[in-house]
Amino acid sequence: MTTVVTAGGWAGPQKADAAAWLAVAAGTIGALMATLDTSIVNSALPTIQGEIGASSSEGTWVTTAYLVAEIIMIPLAGWFEKIFKLRNFLLIATVLFTLFSMWCGLSPNLTHMVIGRIGQGFTGGAMIPTAMTIVATCLPPAQRPVGIALFGMTAVLGPVIGPVVGGWLTENLSWHYAFFLNVPISIALIVLLFVGLPRGKIDWEEFRSTDYFGIAGLVLGLGGLTVVLEEGQRERWFESDLIRELSVISAFGMILLVVGQFVSRKPVIHLRILLQKSFFGVFVLSLGVGGALYGILYLIPQYLAAVPDYNSLQSGLVAAISGVPTLIMLAVFPLLVRKLDLRLAIGSGILLYVVSCFMDAHLAPDDAGNAFIGSQIVRGFAQFFSLLFLNQAATSSVSMEYVEDASGLFNAARNLGGSFGLAAVSTLHDRRMDLHMNRLEESVTANSLIGQDYTHHFGIARLGALIEQQATVMTYSDLFWIFGVALLVMLPLVLLLKPLPKDIQPNVG
């Protein structure tokens, strides 16, 4: 493999060989496996709860434990990579991910399951930002858009197809296979890593100059914040001692992270890149798009289960429709990234997201999966333009020196945005549901003409069920509308982004 110095002064490969593409394949598989495990247990969760003896509130920790560990590891991956070097780090992460997956599949109780999911989250989180590092170091500028497209596919398809795969395995085999599925994939990944990536020598000197303030800050700050967002509504927010204590811990962690920027010679992650307006715009937009991605992926199955009574597999298939346009468009991404202005592409993606949300903001009680087909297709194109081009914008808005930091912050922002989106859904759902129930009960009483008619034909119990169904439909319509408005408000941030130069290939990481 020969090298060439790019416009940014970085020596990269001039032409990728077979080993380079095997390394990119390894990074893609690892990132897909990690993002898939974020949501693969969602559809199997009721079954898992029953078999490990967990209540519905306790069972949420099966998902929360993974998310918390993953979001902590994502920005730390660059630091671990500098110490252990890329191949060693990914091999360690893959082997441990496999062992923790088997641990989860064999868990007899909730404690074992949560420990296994924490281990999965830490090791899986290592595979997400390093996938882009492989693209940057193994592919020449002319071929990197292909690598970015593959990585972007993992960010979209992992959360989308996770519930489908988990639901199918649970219905046809057993929930244990949602975890055992990772074993053969990990074995293939280990082979690809050995063949595709060069050896590296562990740098213990890098370990001795560690930014301990920053590491502690990331663990306490991001970990505490994620738990607060995931569990806040169930714990009644600041009425709970746990939420108040975790909020204080999270704030303290953020302070430690900032302190590390000033007292450490090599901060674990350089927050100063957030002061660059272009990357700041990318970061905030990633929060918003992440919130929409995970929030809407949660909303649709919940609606389909509550109103038309779909099972987990049926709901997952409807949610997966949005992945089809994204897959189709991946083939033209390398061409579009050279021809299309980043700001126009990302702005179009967010606008399509807004349109798709407004399409679902007028639901009726008889609407089932077919009602979401059009909006899901629009949403698929929205995901393609917003997520893939945002990833390109994140790494091209900083110098090569800070590419690993940009990749870590960008991916962490997307996942953190997902936690914000799910917290908003949980909180607003309860409040809007109470509001609509109260209004409907006030207007449709047993003494009103409509109430008397329904009571005469169907009985009081049926009237109460119809009111609850109508309130549920109105609540989900409101939530889609709120997501659309929130994304529309964020649209002007696209103007902060920096367009790619037309005469040179973009630097990515």
Least confident of 29-33, 198-202, 218-222, 284-288: 198-202
- Residue 296: pLDDT over 60: yes
> In the listed set 222, 239, 267, which residue is the last one of a domain according to the structure?
267
342: helix, strand or coil: helix
In the prediction, which pLDDT does 250 show?
Answer: 92
* Residue 234 belongs to some domain of the structure: yes
Quick: pLDDT tens for 326-336. 888 888 888 88
Model confidence at 94, pLDDT cuts 50, 70, 90, reads very high
Asked if residue 446 and residue 480 are part of one domain, the reply reads: yes
Give the whole-angstrom CA distance, residue 189 versus residue 204. Answer: 26
In the prediction, which pLDDT does 508 show?
Answer: 38
In the prediction, which pLDDT does 56 show?
Answer: 64
- Closest alpha carbon to 47 in 56, 38, 57: 56
Model confidence at 375, pLDDT cuts 50, 70, 90, reads very high
Quick: pLDDT tens for 106-126. 988 888 998 999 999 999 988
- Closest alpha carbon to 376 in 265, 267, 300, 277: 300
Asked if residue 336 and residue 319 are part of one domain, the reply reads: yes
- Residue 428: pLDDT over 80: yes
Mean pLDDT value across residues 122-135 = 85
- Residue 506: pLDDT over 70: no
> In the listed set 232, 267, 302, which residue is the last one of a domain according to the structure?
267
Asked if residue 351 and residue 241 are part of one domain, the reply reads: no
H or E stretch at 192: helix 182-196
In the prediction, which pLDDT does 399 show?
Answer: 74
Asked if residue 197 and residue 231 are part of one domain, the reply reads: no
- Residue 353: pLDDT over 50: yes
Asked if residue 279 and residue 231 are part of one domain, the reply reads: no
| Single-letter residue type at 482 | I
In the prediction, which pLDDT does 100 show?
Answer: 95
Model confidence at 507, pLDDT cuts 50, 70, 90, reads very low
Q: Let me know: does 25 contact 135? Beta carbons within 8 Å.
A: no
In the prediction, which pLDDT does 247 show?
Answer: 92
In the prediction, which pLDDT does 198 show?
Answer: 84
Least confident of 70-84, 182-196, 245-259, 439-453: 439-453
Model confidence at 379, pLDDT cuts 50, 70, 90, reads very high
The partner residues of 11 in beta bridges, in order of sequence, read 5
- Closest alpha carbon to 379 in 48, 225, 156, 147: 156
CATH number for the domain spanning 188: value is 1.20.1250.20
Quick: pLDDT tens for 228-251. 887 887 787 888 888 899 999 999
* Residue 5 belongs to some domain of the structure: no
| Single-letter residue type at 303 | Y
Across 8-22, 308-322, 339-353, the highest mean pLDDT is recorded for 339-353
- Structural domain span for residue 421: 272-509
* Residue appearing with tokens 């053969």: 184
Residues 6+ apart with CB under 8 A from 142: 505
> In the listed set 208, 229, 259, which residue is the last one of a domain according to the structure?
208
Q: Let me know: does 22 contact 196? Beta carbons within 8 Å.
A: yes
- Closest alpha carbon to 174 in 50, 80, 276: 50
Long-range pairs for 231-238: beta carbons < 8 A, 24 or more residues apart = 231/60, 231/64, 232/423, 232/426, 232/427, 233/423, 233/426, 233/427, 233/430, 234/57, 234/60, 234/426, 237/427
Give the whole-angstrom CA distance, residue 443 versus residue 322. Answer: 38
Mean pLDDT value across residues 200-227 = 83
Q: Kindly state the DSSP code that residue 14 receives in the 8-state scheme.
A: S
Long-range pairs for 431-440: beta carbons < 8 A, 24 or more residues apart = 432/474, 432/475, 432/478, 432/479, 433/471, 433/472, 433/475, 436/470, 436/471, 436/474, 436/475, 437/467, 437/468, 437/471, 440/467, 440/470, 440/471
Q: Interior CA angle at 262 toward 259 and 264, to 5°?
A: 90
Q: Let me know: does 214 contact 267? Beta carbons within 8 Å.
A: yes
Model confidence at 151, pLDDT cuts 50, 70, 90, reads confident
Answering whether pTM is above 0.95, one says: no
* Residue 314 belongs to some domain of the structure: yes
Between 47 and 485, the more confident residue is: 485
Distances from the Cα of 83 to the Cαs of 3, 78, 127, 393, 402, in angstroms?
24, 9, 16, 27, 17
- Residue 2: pLDDT over 50: no
* Residue 2 belongs to some domain of the structure: no
Least confident of 10-19, 58-67, 205-214, 385-394: 10-19
Asked if residue 202 and residue 117 are part of one domain, the reply reads: yes
Q: Let me know: does 312 contact 167? Beta carbons within 8 Å.
A: yes
Asked if residue 329 and residue 439 are part of one domain, the reply reads: yes
* Residue 3 belongs to some domain of the structure: no
* Residue 167 belongs to some domain of the structure: yes
Supply the mean pLDDT for the chain. 82
Give Cα 98 to chain centroid, integer Å. Answer: 21
Asked if residue 91 and residue 17 are part of one domain, the reply reads: yes
| Single-letter residue type at 331 | A
Between 441 and 265, the more confident residue is: 265
Asked if residue 229 and residue 81 are part of one domain, the reply reads: no
Mean pLDDT value across residues 476-501 = 88
Asked if residue 375 and residue 311 are part of one domain, the reply reads: yes
Asked if residue 386 and residue 310 are part of one domain, the reply reads: yes
Asked if residue 406 and residue 304 are part of one domain, the reply reads: yes
Give the whole-angstrom CA distance, residue 361 versus residue 75. Answer: 36
Q: Kindly state the DSSP code that residue 388 receives in the 8-state scheme.
A: I
Give the whole-angstrom CA distance, residue 142 versus residue 163. Answer: 35
**Residue environment code for 308-339, b if the CB has 16+ CB neighbours within 10 A, otherwise e:** bebebbbbbbbbbbbbebbeebbeebbebbee
The share of the chain scoring above pLDDT 70, in percent, equals 90
Quick: pLDDT tens for 22-42. 888 888 898 888 888 888 887
Torsion, CA 443, CA 447, CA 448, CA 451, rounded to 10: 90
Give the whole-angstrom CA distance, residue 385 versus residue 336. Answer: 10
* Residue 4 belongs to some domain of the structure: no
* Total number of domains constituting the chain: 3
Between 356 and 148, the more confident residue is: 356
331: helix, strand or coil: coil
In the prediction, which pLDDT does 461 show?
Answer: 61
Total residues belonging to the chain? 509
